[in-house]
Amino acid sequence: MQHFLSIADFSSDDLWNFLHKAKSLKDEFKAGGNQPILKDKILGMVFQKPSLRTRVSFEVGMLHLGGNAIYISPNEIQLGSRESVPDVARVLSGYVDGIMARVFSHEHMLELAQYSEVPIINGLSDYNHPCQAMTDIFTIWEHFGKVEGLKIAYVGDGNNMANSLMTVALKLGAHFSIASPEGYTLPPEVLEAGHQLAAEQELMLTESEDPTEAVLDADVVYTDVWTSMGQEAESARRLEVFPPYQVNSELLTKAKPTAVVLHCLPAHRGEEITDEVADGPQSLLFQEAENRLHAQKGILALLLAG
């Protein structure tokens, strides 16, 4: 049994297997529909945090592959309070063939994996966001026809998204740069692991407080919200700190003319990204959003079809 908890758990070959599976399933779907390779399989979807893309893409993905999905809302379980995480994992393991969880604490994700008898898929935790990162690298590969040698620049909060994006970029041969304000950088242990990976792969990993420096000659410019769910109390302070990190048309001129812009959504337009960029010719935001469906089908197929 294999879980999908973190990009760091997988080799480059493993990650390419997921991506090639996603591409074949997308091509098959576009050509008329997917084969029911997950017939009679059921995915339990545990949500502590709401999400448009996560819920719909996983549910539709299971349906396309011949299976089904059950949405379990935050109030139905109250994970870790009304019912313990180990009990939830053990109970659901008796009902479903896999569990996708979208949680606040990564410790809850690890507990689910420890006690579950079926595969756990990380739909988001405060530590990382591996399904989104696989979507992003799939979108980049689809657009450029390659990943190796590209420069991916991330501008904004050194959050769970930045962690997973950095890791998948380096594992698959892309250079990575990140610009975050002081006090909002990636955790030291995450950066340390990133630098070790970059050294092994002979790639560049650069950190800066200057967004212009980060995006210089970049092929991909990526951003995310300045205030994530669970950080609402910090919102006022973050709105003071982050405006220089907005991805706007001026900043985009520092990247390559062929650069594309990605954002995992939802976007706070006028904050981390302007309408002009989000809706502009270099934006891949909505192709990226669609690809959540296809990238996650690749994960579901390889974890649940056996």
User: 63 Cβ partners below 8 Å, 6+ apart?
Assistant: 69
What single letter denotes the amino acid at residue 84?
Answer: S
Q: At what angle do helices 52-64 and 285-304 cross, to 10 degrees?
A: 50
For 140, half-sphere exposure in the C-beta direction (CA atoms, 13 angstrom radius) is 29
287 given a catalytic annotation: no
102 given a catalytic annotation: yes
Q: Which of 53, 55, 102, 294 is catalytic?
A: 102
53 given a catalytic annotation: no
237 given a catalytic annotation: no
Q: Which of 53, 264, 294, 296 is catalytic?
A: 264
Q: How far is CA 53 from the centre of its chain?
A: 11
Distance CA 56, CA 79 (A): 21
Q: Which of 175, 292, 294, 296 is catalytic?
A: 292
Q: Which of 132, 201, 246, 296 is catalytic?
A: 132
Q: Which of 224, 238, 294, 296 is catalytic?
A: 224
Q: Which of 3, 108, 129, 263 is catalytic?
A: 129
Question: Residues of 217-234 as b/e, b for ≥16 C-beta within 10 angstroms?
Answer: ebbbbbbbbbbbeeeeee
DSSP-derived 3-state class of residue 124: strand
- Helix runs in 31-101, H state only: 52-64, 74-77, 85-93
Computed on alpha carbons and rounded to an integer, the radius of gyration of the chain in Å comes to 19
Distance CA 110, CA 120 (A): 9
Measured CA to CA in angstroms, residue 169 lies from 91, 147, 193, 212, 285 at distances of 36, 8, 13, 20, 18
The first and second tokens of residue 139, run together, are 């979108």
The first and second tokens of residue 254, run together, are 């520092």
The first and second tokens of residue 248, run together, are 């706007």
264 given a catalytic annotation: yes
175 given a catalytic annotation: no
Catalytic sites, residue numbers: 102, 129, 132, 224, 264, 292
